[in-house]
A and B are shown apart, each in its own frame.
Chain A
Amino acid sequence: MTTRDASSPGAASVVARGWGWRHGGRRLPAVQGLDLEIRPGERVLLLGASGSGKSTLLHGMAGVLGGDDEGEVLGELLVDGRPAAAARGRSGLVLQDPDAQVVMARLGDDVAFGLENLGVARQEIWPRVRAALDAVGLDLPLDHATAELSGGQRQRLALAGVLAMRPGLILLDEPTANLDPSGVREVRDAVVRVADETGATLVVIEHRVSTWLPSVDRIVVLGAGGGLLADGAPEPVLAARAAELRAAGVWLPDEVPWRAPARDVSAGRPLLTTEGLDVARVPGSPVLRGVDVTVDAGGILAVTGPNGAGKSTLALTLAGLLHPEGGRIEPSDELARGLRGEPWRWRSRDLLTRIGTVFQSPEHQFLTGSVRAELEVGPRALKLPADERARRVDELLAVLRLERLAEANPFTLSGGEKRRLSVASALATRPRMLVLDEPTFGQDATTWRELARLIVDLRDDGVGVVAVTHDDVFVDAIADRRLEVGAVALPSGGGAR
């Protein structure tokens, strides 16, 4: 039997010589002048400031940067001595977003997808699919719907899809950044087990060093100006380069970027109180029931719990965006300021000065073509005079270090800049209460520190903050109170209580 299966056993090597890549349409290369050699079987943690081209390098190794129409290659990048694009099948790539890399509707079909593309014979496909799913610990039927998997399960599925192809080089681009803590452990353990069993070369990008530190034997740090900043065994690199790594936004092990000073004890007037609140994203299908919670002025409430527990839905309901399924929400006079009824009955414009919301994905809330215009949306809706608008916008641009980007299109910003802009645009109308959905999700330590300071400043100004979060460090270092919501068992069909 002859197949085109390129995956021979054994770990792959990577060699970069003066390698670089310039995206089509960009003036400066994303990576340039890179010399790097990774020996077969090495496990490398790849670090660097945002914009240093870590992802570009990883995509280059996977051979998926595209042809001449997408950008320009400088120097050479070889996997097992062949150009990376020609060695596809030797490497497997897992990306950050668990939702965007599931190809097929059924679990088994998704794992089989890569094998089909490699031309593996049918009778050989299914045993390899089963073995790959076993290796990542996904003990589910082959016809299980991929849409029903949790984030951690989806990432393990992506890993299984890669693993079934028996790559000599496993490439992971922040595979755990979007997961809750149990999802992070689940995926990390699966990766380590797979690497142990296959001996494959491993290259992983991750801001939070502690997740991978025990499992890697080398750290490579890319410099912002091209080339390598540091390269070597983990402990010496971390010790010698701590200051530079910290400045580059890397989370060093067991470090908390910033801690909130103790809260002013005079705070604590309630802004919003709920009684037996049931919440639903889609009317008729409640995801969380019977929530009793109070949001205090000058307090930070962290809402935590596993993926799918209904945290975001609760937050959007508290924010007056979703209609509650049951129970009551009572705004205090300080919050309502003359308006009657529950917040979801208020007009959109009335919410602006009362409850601000920052969505999990900043892209969902961007409305305009420039950072400045984006910040002006709220003040304009409030019909503030032009000079007051300009004053507020300039102040926010300065506080959030976005002045340089005032005319930039919000969609072209980096992840951290997008996050800062989405928070700033909610603050422009000075709401009494701020609801944040995963404010620190996937952020590097620098952005984390800035957001944490900003949130605590708001708290000290008497704003009531609700933050949905998976981030244990945030809860520990920033939050005043914590509401843990569990995955509640609902009656089947989501019917009446």
Chain B
Amino acid sequence: MSIAAIRPGLPLATINPVAKIAATVPLSIVLVLTLDAVSAAVAIACELVLFTAVGLGRLLWSRRTLPVWIAAPLTGISMVLYGAPSGAVLWDFGVIHVTEGSVQIGIATTLRVIAIALPAVVIFLTIDPTDLADGLAQTLRLPARFVLGALAALRLVGSSIDDWRTLSLARRARGIADHGVIRRGLGQAFALLVLAIRRGSTLATAMESRGFGAPGARTWARVAHFGGREWVVIAVGCLVAAISAAAAVATGSWNVIWA
């Protein structure tokens, strides 16, 4: 399996990836500005409703988003245990001070991580890397050489996963897999790097022989559209950010970090 695999016909799959990524930016800005539970909770609610409405509900609760649900509470707990103490002390143990303030920060952090990471993961899963490259190069006018080089490199990630597996088996066959996990892991990582560089240079030769990097204008076989649908997606992203901010301000919980 490769992470450059073609995405199935998911909802939103045909929207220009640049628009989908842009749509997540306003909310991220709002959530970075304020550290409170209300704005993030409202944002999560909006996200769940929106993704379910467009037909991405199954993806939302699939194994692909599991890391988000695990990582977010862990981040929150570390804030509860080690965050700046304020308010009544609930529990004290060495360097750990659990206070009312740190519990609040912990909850706000957990929600914040979910509110930012969840749409990022779900939207990323609807993005075909080829479409993303087309969008970056044609819509944002990033240099084609850079974008296509990155796209080709992405295709090598799949081969590297296979390489890693084979390297592990080879180390067992060579009789050195019983001890020294860390040292062996480092050696194996280095071997993987060597293999990746060799594969990459072959691919570079193949690309060059097909005119990649030749001087002059390049054309694009696929069109990256940027039209009404893309603007709607961005507008929805702005709307979610605005609702979250407004809810926080209205309930009086809006607190800008540096204020």
Return the CB mask of B199-211 against A: 1 if under 8 Å, else 0.
1001101111111
Q: Find B178's partner among A105, A349, A366, A377 (CB 8 Å cutoff).
A: A349
Q: Find B219's partner among A122, A352, A426 (CB 8 Å cutoff).
A: A122
For window 82-134 of chain B, which residues contact chain A by CB distance below 8 Å?
128-130
Query: Closest CB-CB distance, A97 to chain B, in whole Å?
Result: 6
Query: Do A106 and B130 form a contact, CB below 8 Å, given A122-B223, A321-B173, A367-B187?
Result: yes
Count A interface residues, CB 8 Å: 71
Contact between B209 and A92, CB atoms less than 8 A apart = yes
B130 proximity list for chain A (CB < 8 A):
104-106, 109
**How distant is the Cα of A425 from the Cα of B166 in the complex, in angstroms?**
17
Return the CB mask of B131-164 against A: 1 if under 8 Å, else 0.
0000000000000000010011001001100010
Contact between B210 and A122, CB atoms less than 8 A apart = no
Contact between B210 and A117, CB atoms less than 8 A apart = yes
**How distant is the Cα of A367 from the Cα of B180 in the complex, in angstroms?**
14
A365 proximity list for chain B (CB < 8 A):
170, 173-174
B207 proximity list for chain A (CB < 8 A):
103, 113
Most interface-central of A93, A125, A147 (chain B CB within 10 A): A147
Query: Closest CB-CB distance, A341 to chain B, in whole Å?
Result: 16
B165 proximity list for chain A (CB < 8 A):
281
For window 113-148 of chain A, which residues contact chain B by CB distance below 8 Å?
113-122, 125-126, 129, 143, 145, 147
Contact between B212 and A122, CB atoms less than 8 A apart = no
Contact between A100 and B202, CB atoms less than 8 A apart = yes
For window 246-277 of chain A, which residues contact chain B by CB distance below 8 Å?
none
Query: Closest CB-CB distance, A54 to chain B, in whole Å?
Result: 15
Contact between A117 and B152, CB atoms less than 8 A apart = no
Query: Closest CB-CB distance, A126 to chain B, in whole Å?
Result: 7
Query: Do A109 and B221 form a contact, CB below 8 Å, given A95-B205, A147-B5, A162-B210?
Result: yes
Return the CB mask of A343-377 against B: 1 if under 8 Å, else 0.
00001110110001101010111110000000001
Contact between A119 and B219, CB atoms less than 8 A apart = yes
Query: Do A103 and B203 form a contact, CB below 8 Å, given A363-B198, A411-B194?
Result: yes
B209 proximity list for chain A (CB < 8 A):
62-64, 88, 91-93, 162
Q: Is B227 an interface residue (CB 8 A)?
A: no
Q: Find A122's partner among B175, B213, B221 (CB 8 Å cutoff).
A: B221
Q: Find B174's partner among A4, A59, A116, A377 (CB 8 Å cutoff).
A: A377
Q: Find A103's partner among B2, B155, B170, B175 (CB 8 Å cutoff).
A: B155
B148 proximity list for chain A (CB < 8 A):
103
Contact between A112 and B173, CB atoms less than 8 A apart = no
Query: Closest CB-CB distance, B232 to chain A, in whole Å?
Result: 26
**How distant is the Cα of A377 from the Cα of B184 in the complex, in angstroms?**
13
For window 85-99 of chain A, which residues contact chain B by CB distance below 8 Å?
88-89, 91-93, 95, 97, 99
Query: Closest CB-CB distance, A58 to chain B, in whole Å?
Result: 10
Contact between A348 and B4, CB atoms less than 8 A apart = no
Q: Find A100's partner among B166, B176, B199, B217 (CB 8 Å cutoff).
A: B199
For window 3-44 of chain A, which residues contact chain B by CB distance below 8 Å?
3-4
A319 proximity list for chain B (CB < 8 A):
173
Return the CB mask of A382-396 against B: 1 if under 8 Å, else 0.
100000000000000
Query: Closest CB-CB distance, B61 to chain A, in whole Å?
Result: 20
Contact between B175 and A89, CB atoms less than 8 A apart = no
Q: Is A465 an interface residue (CB 8 A)?
A: no
Most interface-central of B170, B171, B195 (chain A CB within 10 A): B170
Contact between A381 and B174, CB atoms less than 8 A apart = yes
B191 proximity list for chain A (CB < 8 A):
363-364, 366-367
**How distant is the Cα of A366 from the Cα of B2 in the complex, in angstroms?**
25
Query: Closest CB-CB distance, A89 to chain B, in whole Å?
Result: 5
Q: Is A101 an interface residue (CB 8 A)?
A: yes
Most interface-central of A118, A352, A356, A364 (chain B CB within 10 A): A364
Q: Is A165 an interface residue (CB 8 A)?
A: yes
**How distant is the Cα of A316 from the Cα of B165 in the complex, in angstroms?**
12
Q: Is B256 an interface residue (CB 8 A)?
A: no
Q: Find B173's partner among A62, A101, A351, A361 (CB 8 Å cutoff).
A: A351
A89 proximity list for chain B (CB < 8 A):
211, 214
A106 proximity list for chain B (CB < 8 A):
6, 130
Query: Closest CB-CB distance, B149 to chain A, in whole Å?
Result: 10
**How distant is the Cα of A426 from the Cα of B172 in the complex, in angstroms?**
12
Q: Is A161 an interface residue (CB 8 A)?
A: yes
B151 proximity list for chain A (CB < 8 A):
104
Q: Is B167 an interface residue (CB 8 A)?
A: yes
Contact between A93 and B206, CB atoms less than 8 A apart = yes
Q: Is A378 an interface residue (CB 8 A)?
A: yes
**How distant is the Cα of A89 from the Cα of B176 in the complex, in angstroms?**
49
Known: A105-B5, A105-B6. 6 other contacts (CB 8 A): A63-B209, A64-B208, A100-B202, A115-B221, A117-B212, A377-B175
7 CB contacts below 8 A, A to B, read A100-B206, A105-B6, A105-B129, A316-B169, A365-B170, A367-B191, A411-B194
Closest 5 CB pairs of A and B: A117-B211, A114-B210, A101-B206, A348-B177, A381-B175
